[in-house]
Structure 1
Amino acid sequence: MAASELIQDTDDVRPHVEVNITTLNPPSPPQRVANAKPTCLGPSPTSPSDEHDGRKQQTGSKMSSLLMQNQLINSLSRGLKKHCDYMKITMPEERANCLPNEWWKTGAAFLYAVFGLVFTTVVITFVHERVPDISVSPPLPDKFFDYVDRVPWAFTVTEVNGLILCGLWLVQWLFLKHKYLAIVARRCFFLIGTLYMYRCITMYITTLPVPGKHMVCAPKLYDDSMGKIWRILRLISGGGLSLTGSHMMCGDFLYSGHTVMLTLSYLFIKEYSPRWMWWYHWVCWLLSASGVICILIAHEHYSIDVLIGYIATTRIFWWYHTMANTNFLSRVWWNPVFNFLERNVQTTVPLVFSWPLRLPTSCRQRYRIVDGGRDE
């Protein structure tokens, strides 16, 4: 092996150089000598003695050049060993270890969300008894209502759009990689529970009159406890939707629960989907925005209800995810709950999707065997 092939540049110092030198005795004289000019063999005839002396000279020069190369390489190796500095490189912890499932925390967040939704129906039932009669307290003036007349079917569009967005988010969540399902789910459940708990407070402390004379409210039950329980169960079974005919009570105006679900589902869809799916984001945004506008067109909520619902949903969503990535907002009252849910999540959730239903182990092993046979 030639030294010119081993040493390409004097400035290029590389540790752990290993050199293997093999001496070959070719049957015929070589046409080239390492690190020397090629030897040209002329066509002129030579005597046997001259040819023998020439071979000896070439062999001696070859051995001397190989010896010099060997000495040069050995000196270079010794110099590299003396002056080579070793640097310890600490490999970062694998990202999968920073994203533990912890399904039990997800279960706790799910119970919190269920409690918030059930407690909301209880508060609606009690607030309904306090709603002033329309003959005593007419609807409050609203600037949007002054310019836009009521469209009866608009609220149906709102609820259909909300169901579509919730369905899209559910499918998208199922296709997330199984490692990240629990983390994203508990974030969603916690935000739902918190937003509806806030809604319970605003509904209870301030009871607004109905926003329009078109609204038909169920009769008040006052001290009929069993009747109130049946209303709570009916509202829960119908999902609180007017499409199912389960929502006949009034008073749950400040702030809008439909705005919360439309906005929150869109925010989760956009946050946990790749940026190249811009068309998907735009479709979901149109569904969310048109659903919120149709709430006002149907005169089912005051403008302030929709505005506060949007502000509360977006700010709490952004605050939570900011805390999950930077933890600057430690003064929020639910910071201890946040630390409980996110303590072991040390990085952002990657946007990796997989099939929600995995093949059985036996099928996967057979597939690997077949795939390995094809490669061979």
Structure 2
Amino acid sequence: MAASELIQNDERPHVEVNVTTTNSSTPQRVANGNPAQHSPMPAPQSDAHDGKNKLSSLFKQNQLIHSLSNGLKRHCDYVKITVSEERANRLPKEWWKTGVAFLYALFNLIFTTVVITIVHERVPDKSVNPPLPDKFFDYVDRVPWAFTVTEANGLILVGLWLIQWLFLKHKAIVGRRCFFLIGTLYMYRCITMYITTLPVPGKHMVCAPKLYNDSTGKIWRILRLISGGGLSLTGSHMMCGDFLYSGHTVMLTLSYLFIKEYSPRWMWWYHWICWGLSVSGVLCILIGHEHYSVDVVIAYIVTTRIFWWYHTMANTHALRQSPNNYLSRTWWNRIFNFLEKNVQTTVPVAFEWPVALPSCCRQRYRMVEGGRDE
């Protein structure tokens, strides 16, 4: 009788744990989880022995369930940590590569000013070689203030893109893409300017006098052009010959492409505003008769194609190893592999504060994030 009572008392705390037990020899249970009541009668010795076996088996099952539960918890925690680290490593910052791309862009921008100074000495005199015929100029008369609108729109677009870039979470990756494209486009521009020198597109243009063998004067012109950003608004650009192709069109188009690519799709109004600034700025180049139409068309084609080719290769990772990827035959494919080697996924459009928040704000932010995760 004592053994039977011991079995009943020890089974009760472990009723919920022993839910998978299907042994027919165990006592039947009712809906409230208590063992079925039997009429009190003396228990034989064999029942006492069976009760001890059942008690030991219940203890073993309880220990096994606890060990499995702890193991599952540890396993779940390990999986979460591994996934987060893996995602973080798929988009490494690698600021040193961004610095290399910046130096590449800076070199080509400075080299452009050198080429402009050289080409300026070869521009034919407009009194001897008149402007080439241009169909756009035949239908649209020149508006003197139009080119000022072009440079103002360009400054606004570049400023908007700079602010947007500072708030991007993955600004290191996006920055080196931007610097590489700027450097490559201006390197192409140096080549086209140097190999073909076009006469001025309008007789209204006033070009600085030629210096010929005055190397010191040429150096001062280069420094003046660099200090003024190559803009007519700053009075630093008084040289001619940098027509094919248009550098203003490059910056207007490239700024808009980066603004749209790395901003949320729901900001359609922002995209339309930037598109309007870009298109109106390009049109004002032609309305001001500061470039031939072919200069603007070639600048648009070269800028958009290189931007789309680069981002197609960057966002489609299957192309990188595909034998049928003809984009890999570009001369800059090795530079692309250097810059994008460790970027294993598409860069998401995410923003963050460019300056680290104070410790109190960071703590509150973590508490909010922790509450959301829970």
Q: TM-score range by the shorter chain?
A: 0.7 to 0.9
| TM-score of the pair, normalised by structure 2 | 0.75
Q: Distance in 2 between matches of 1:19 and 1:338?
A: 61
- Give the match for residue 267 of structure 2: 277
Structure 2 residue 239 is the aligned partner of structure 1 residue 249: yes
- Given candidates 133, 140, 154, the residue that maps to 1:141 is 133
Does the C-alpha gap of structure 1 residues 18 and 331 become closer, same or farther in structure 2, counting only changes over 3 Å?
Answer: farther
- Given candidates 298, 318, 323, the residue that maps to 1:308 is 298
What CA RMSD, in Å, does the superposition of the two structures yield over aligned residues? 3.2
Deviation at 1:332, TM superposition (A): 0.5
How does 1:55-204 map onto structure 2 within 5 Å? 94-177=86-169, 180-204=170-194
Aligned residue type for 1:218: A
Does the C-alpha gap of structure 1 residues 369 and 256 become closer, same or farther in structure 2, counting only changes over 3 Å?
Answer: closer
Aligned residue type for 1:281: H
- Give the match for residue 62 of structure 1: none
Q: Distance in 2 between matches of 1:221 and 1:243?
A: 23
Structure 2 residue 244 is the aligned partner of structure 1 residue 258: no
Deviation at 1:357, TM superposition (A): 1.4
Aligned residue type for 1:219: P
Secondary structure, aligned partner of 1:330: helix
Does the C-alpha gap of structure 1 residues 346 and 56 become closer, same or farther in structure 2, counting only changes over 3 Å?
Answer: closer
Structure 2 residue 190 is the aligned partner of structure 1 residue 208: no
Does the C-alpha gap of structure 1 residues 365 and 130 become closer, same or farther in structure 2, counting only changes over 3 Å?
Answer: same
- Give the match for residue 218 of structure 2: 228
Asked whether the equivalents of residues 106 and 182 of structure 1 are also in contact (C-alpha less than 8 Å), the reply is: yes
- Give the match for residue 336 of structure 1: 334
Q: Distance in 2 between matches of 1:204 and 1:182?
A: 33
How does 1:351-366 map onto structure 2 within 5 Å? 351-361=349-359, 364-365=362-363
Q: Distance in 2 between matches of 1:260 and 1:336?
A: 24
Aligned residue type for 2:137: F
Aligned residue type for 1:248: M
Does the C-alpha gap of structure 1 residues 126 and 244 become closer, same or farther in structure 2, counting only changes over 3 Å?
Answer: same
Secondary structure, aligned partner of 2:194: helix
Asked whether the equivalents of residues 296 and 303 of structure 1 are also in contact (C-alpha less than 8 Å), the reply is: yes
How does 1:317-328 map onto structure 2 within 5 Å? 317-326=307-316, 327=320, 328=325
Aligned residue type for 2:112: T
Deviation at 1:94, TM superposition (A): 2.9
Task: State, as a whole percentage, how many aligned pairs show the same letter.
Answer: 81
Asked whether the equivalents of residues 134 and 213 of structure 1 are also in contact (C-alpha less than 8 Å), the reply is: yes
More helix by share: 2
Q: Deviations over 1:329-370 (max 9, x none)?
A: 210101111111110011111111011111244663487689
Does the C-alpha gap of structure 1 residues 257 and 348 become closer, same or farther in structure 2, counting only changes over 3 Å?
Answer: same
Secondary structure, aligned partner of 2:111: helix
Q: Distance in 2 between matches of 1:305 and 1:229?
A: 27
Asked whether the equivalents of residues 240 and 247 of structure 1 are also in contact (C-alpha less than 8 Å), the reply is: yes
Aligned residue type for 2:139: Y
Deviation at 1:146, TM superposition (A): 0.3
Does the C-alpha gap of structure 1 residues 319 and 297 become closer, same or farther in structure 2, counting only changes over 3 Å?
Answer: same
Which ranges of 4 or more aligned residues in structure 1 deviate by more than 4 Å?
89-93, 365-372
Aligned residue type for 1:353: F
Secondary structure, aligned partner of 1:94: helix
Q: Distance in 1 between matches of 2:113 and 2:166?
A: 28
- Give the match for residue 67 of structure 1: none
Larger radius of gyration: 1
Gap regions ≥5 residues in structure 1: 1-16, 22-32, 36-54, 58-69, 78-88
- Give the match for residue 283 of structure 2: 293
Q: Distance in 1 between matches of 2:366 and 2:226?
A: 48
Q: Distance in 2 between matches of 1:370 and 1:198?
A: 50
What is the aligned residue count?
303
- Give the match for residue 40 of structure 1: none
Q: Distance in 1 between matches of 2:150 and 2:259?
A: 18
